[in-house]
Chains A and B, each alone.
Chain A
Amino acid sequence: MADSPTPAMFAIITTNKDSVMSGGMAPVFVAANDVERDRVAMWLCRITNAIVHDLHNGTVVLTVSHSSS
């Protein structure tokens, strides 16, 4: 059902490398600054149909829902 998604972490994009540990299920993209981070987030989200969430610590995460369109 479209309204009750079960999101899965798809990618992590950060400007603060120390705030993220690698080894999880999602790839980590390191961006030089906020503008670059938002640009990468936007591209990835349009390509993969993901939703971007801002954690407000320099990191944004992309989640995909199994039924989202």
Chain B
Amino acid sequence: MSGSTPPINWDPMIVGFLAGFISRVLYLRSGKSHNPGYPSGYIIQLAIAVISAMIGSVVIVALLGKEFTAATFLTLAATQFFNVRSNERKTLEQEEGLILVGRGAGYIEGIAITYEARNFLAMLTALATSLVSELNIWAGIVGGIVFIVFGEMYMSGPRMGELVDVKPTELRFEKGSLLYAGSVMLMEVGLADSRQRLTKYGMAVTLTPKNARGQAALWNIAQRQAIAHEAAAAVGVQKDVGYPEQTPLCRMDMPAGTGIAAFAIIPVERDMEKLIKAIRNVPVLESGKWARMHDSRKRKEDAHG
């Protein structure tokens, strides 16, 4: 650095940093239903937000200041963020053995991927905003807002409520011991005591897919496990070790294969509204997004009609 280089213009960096930071912090709001749910978790997230926004915003300024070494540090930092994903996965997997209704591997992977992606998104937002700010500071501020809104729209995946209809239904027993929720057979309950508890305290909903995509999501067992977890987290579940038949269950309408699923739970808090809201809010898992799945019967009807 000699006297010939112009003084560094800090404004693009500041605007870029703020845009990246806000983009990362906004995710904490949508992520609060599952994780993090405790102050120390938020501190970790905020620290990562600061780091990723910082890295993204510093690149353009460093390049313009002909500090190429500094710019290459971006790639170095990117490798560090891969650890964020495996750390997140490790934490959630550890928790899996400690909770009665697990998230399931599919849900955990989804959360971990989203965490990693959010850090890169914050970095990219900071980078793009600082680039625009380099041209004009006001354009940079407007651009930052556009990038944040765009990122928020693009990154928040669909929720179950958009793909399936959730409606309350009743629990009943057929043939003595087969537990039904609506038209869907859930399981065989051999203990009279458990049957009584299920009919007395149980709550059930049916999940009817609105389209082929909703049906694809429901056929995915990881998706249904995620539903069971979120529902149990919302209304609680009367279950303990030694009571495996009181596990909340989400099962498809088999062998009819209509694509309708039903969910039964013995809640602590008997609040149907809350249960339905929680299920509608479950994110559609990546492993459940079979874009190419079609309902063969429906396709035949379409072809004839």
Task: Report A's interface with B, CB cutoff 8 A.
Answer: 1-4, 38, 41-42, 45-47, 49-54, 56, 60-61, 65, 68-69
Task: List, in ascending order, chain B residues with CB within 8 A of A46's CB.
Answer: 242-243
A-B pairs with beta carbons under 8 Å apart, 10 shown? A1-B222, A4-B221, A49-B244, A51-B244, A52-B190, A52-B194, A52-B245, A53-B177, A54-B188, A54-B190
Q: Contact at B190–A60, with CB atoms within 8 Å?
A: yes
Q: Contact at A49–B102, with CB atoms within 8 Å?
A: no
Which of B104, B176, B244, B249 has the most chain A CB atoms inside 10 A of its CB?
Answer: B244
Task: List, in ascending order, chain B residues with CB within 8 A of A53's CB.
Answer: 177, 188, 190
Known: A1-B104, A69-B100. Contact between A42 and B188, CB under 8 A?
Answer: no
Q: Contact at A38–B225, with CB atoms within 8 Å?
A: no
Interface string of B210-222 (1 = CB under 8 A from A): 0000000000011
In residues 172-206 of chain B, which contact A (Cβ within 8 Å)? 175-177, 188-194
Q: Contact at A45–B191, with CB atoms within 8 Å?
A: yes
Distance between Cα atoms of A54 and B193 in the complex (Å)? 13
Q: Contact at B245–A51, with CB atoms within 8 Å?
A: yes
**A50 interface neighbour in B192, B193, B228, B244, Cβ under 8 Å:** B244
Task: Report B's interface with A, CB cutoff 8 A.
Answer: 100-102, 104-105, 175-177, 188-194, 221-222, 224-225, 228, 241-245, 247, 249-250
Q: Contact at A2–B191, with CB atoms within 8 Å?
A: no
Distance between Cα atoms of A14 and B253 in the complex (Å)? 31
Q: Contact at B191–A38, with CB atoms within 8 Å?
A: yes
Q: Contact at A2–B247, with CB atoms within 8 Å?
A: yes
Q: Contact at A2–B101, with CB atoms within 8 Å?
A: yes
